[in-house]
Chain A
């Protein structure tokens, strides 16, 4: 047992050594990400000293950009499942070689999610109150306690699967099914659970009619399965251009089919929601009205949401057309869809629920520069992590790093 552990740590150590090697592009990329991450850290240090008054949030709009990003990213993390399902359930090997890259993305993104929740806390020093056993965990009543559990377990599941499978490739051993198949199938269910629980966080609040809609969880999943694989389409092309790892166009086109179907469902569900809100035209439409058309002379989110609508629709049309079988158009469609969904599901879902407030007050929310910097910092840190993970695993997957290969200089 101890030798096995020792071998594993030697493996991790050797993978880690890979991260200090690379060409100038790699170091430039890492330096840029580090710089942005540090700007974010600096902004967070200011927030810690002064308080959340450095954000644009108020008693009326008590959640903002942090929770918006958190919501979007939970979806990105859940989307790894869209690569796992074809391979493990339908035994379709097209995506076999990229599954692990999707799971690594999930690990990095879940860490970003946890960071976004942390920066939103007024008392981060009391985070341990949320740790089951030593804190006081309001489970199963609080949906937030559910979210803490499912996110952390999802992180552990994916970290284990990646760590184990890559190690087996490194050792040139066939992975023992018992050590990964149960985890893979649990992770499939878990991916749905993290995004469903995150949706229930909002859905369960009777005092916020804009959120109190059963369609939010399905909408979350549809938009996640668009944005996540969309992001991977772009990432995989970068990976194959900067590394020796071979990724077939076939895999990318299979992801296109996933993005295509998800985007159709996503737009359809959005349409259902909009119909319910605007055709009914009850008092509960106020939030949606504020979002799309402005309310009593306040138009803060109108430019945002219409940008998102245009991006979503152009992406949808592009994805439906055969032209998007060419990577150039596919990439464009993915970029548009990701940005569109980020707006629609982030700012477009979180903020309107607070406007008007339960007492009818209209207080608008505009993120401050400090808030933007913290968000940019977390995004940069997440990309930095993902790059490191790839840097560690790709040499193993390409067969360059083996127990007997000579260490790089």
Chain B
């Protein structure tokens, strides 16, 4: 500090004060200008939403109020009255999925049925299922093409759709710092979209590239909206959270098939209760040649691939 500034003369003091006052005013004004974009913020959480508890700590009354609030938000945003439910897992049920790799023709009907069912953002379009066009003679995903076009099936290729594998040892569940994603008693890995902080550590952890992030506000039109909604499944997701395939919980817990199973024109997709030894899925696991993708990472998926011969 120079001697000059240490001077005790009253004049120096006043000009210093004036200078500091001007600097402080300028700093406040500049900060206000820097924050100006915030006036357009549209999705500030209400106090109720901000202080909401974790899904597993909600009382039935809390849940009821939350479902009603979601229904109201959907109505005011899209003009559609939804039926928002939170179906509990069924006793004695563990869901499993098997995909016949020999039959799949790569038509991607499952991809679009999934988008129609699950209220994904249409722009940018979020898809839960990726179909890999694999070269015959290789199971290396790096040789696959996920953006193939034209008529299918191509002669030299086979097709391997990939979606969330609902792992028994799910790396994403381990990774999440706030327990916003967990395995339900019926074996489905779910996400509480109101608890996720959007750190995307789960996306880094997933060996199947199954998780999607809402990089911006989901864009849906009223016609796009599927009014049958589940809390842990297909209700519209807020900006900044992660989502993924949930085996269409709002359907499957009500005894229906997932949308992708229902739409598949070749019958390559099979779904059912692993705990029922007579179910179709159990029969396939017992009688077909079955494998899981990336067995070496030890995730123990509930999603299997199989072939007939």
Identify which of B44, B162, B197 gathers the most chain A CB atoms within 10 Å of its CB.
B197
Known: A51-B214, A136-B178. A22 touches B171 (CB 8 A): no
Known: A50-B216, A409-B7. A60 touches B174 (CB 8 A): no
Residues of B within 8 A of A (CB): 1-2, 5-8, 12-13, 16, 20, 23, 27, 30-31, 33-38, 40-42, 44-45, 50, 54, 57, 124, 130, 132, 140-144, 146, 162, 171, 174-180, 195-201, 203-209, 211-217, 238-242, 294, 297-299
| A303 interface residue (CB < 8 Å to B) | no
Residues of A within 8 A of B (CB): 20-23, 27, 31, 34-35, 38-39, 41-42, 45-46, 48-53, 57-60, 62-63, 117, 120-127, 129-130, 135-138, 141-145, 148, 201, 205-208, 283, 286, 353-354, 356-361, 408-409
Partner of A358, one of B27, B201, B206, B298: B206
Q: How far, in Å, is B50 (CB) from chain A's closest CB?
A: 6
Partner of B142, one of A27, A48, A360: A360
Partner of B201, one of A142, A359, A361, A408: A142
Residue contact A361 to B146, C-beta cutoff 8 Å: yes
- CA A42 – CA B31 in complex, angstroms? 8
- CA A385 – CA B212 in complex, angstroms? 37
Residues of A within 8 A of B16 (CB): 409
Residue contact B204 to A208, C-beta cutoff 8 Å: yes
Tell me the nearest residue of chain B to A395, going by C-beta. Answer: B1
Known: A46-B37, A137-B178. A357 touches B195 (CB 8 A): no
Beyond A137-B178, A409-B16, list 20 extra A-B contacts (CB 8 Å).
Answer: A38-B33, A41-B34, A41-B35, A42-B33, A52-B240, A122-B213, A123-B197, A126-B196, A129-B180, A138-B179, A144-B177, A144-B201, A201-B201, A205-B205, A206-B207, A283-B140, A358-B209, A359-B130, A409-B8, A409-B12
Residue contact B54 to A360, C-beta cutoff 8 Å: no
> Can you report 22 residue pairs joining A to B where beta carbons are below 8 Å apart?
A23-B5, A35-B30, A49-B38, A59-B203, A63-B204, A122-B240, A136-B57, A136-B179, A144-B199, A144-B201, A148-B177, A206-B207, A206-B298, A207-B171, A208-B207, A354-B204, A359-B130, A359-B144, A360-B142, A360-B143, A360-B144, A409-B7
Known: A42-B34, A136-B195, A358-B207. A122 touches B239 (CB 8 A): yes
Tell me the nearest residue of chain B to A350, going by C-beta. Answer: B204
Residues of A within 8 A of B42 (CB): 49
Tell me the nearest residue of chain A to B8, going by C-beta. Answer: A409
- CA A135 – CA B195 in complex, angstroms? 10
Tell me the nearest residue of chain A to B196, going by C-beta. Answer: A123
Residue contact A286 to B142, C-beta cutoff 8 Å: yes
Q: How far, in Å, is B244 (CB) from chain A's closest CB?
A: 10
Identify which of B40, B54, B177 gathers the most chain A CB atoms within 10 Å of its CB.
B177
- CA A266 – CA B42 in complex, angstroms? 47
Known: A122-B239, A205-B204. A48 touches B41 (CB 8 A): yes
Residue contact B20 to A408, C-beta cutoff 8 Å: no
Residue contact A22 to B1, C-beta cutoff 8 Å: yes
- CA A205 – CA B206 in complex, angstroms? 8
Q: How far, in Å, is B15 (CB) from chain A's closest CB?
A: 11
- CA A38 – CA B37 in complex, angstroms? 13
Residues of A within 8 A of B41 (CB): 48-49
Residue contact A359 to B208, C-beta cutoff 8 Å: yes
- CA A124 – CA B36 in complex, angstroms? 18
Residue contact A129 to B195, C-beta cutoff 8 Å: yes
Residue contact A358 to B37, C-beta cutoff 8 Å: no
Q: How far, in Å, is A322 (CB) from chain B's closest CB?
A: 38
Residues of B within 8 A of A356 (CB): 142
Residue contact B201 to A42, C-beta cutoff 8 Å: no
- CA A41 – CA B203 in complex, angstroms? 27
Residue contact A122 to B214, C-beta cutoff 8 Å: yes
Residues of B within 8 A of A201 (CB): 201
Residue contact B141 to A62, C-beta cutoff 8 Å: no
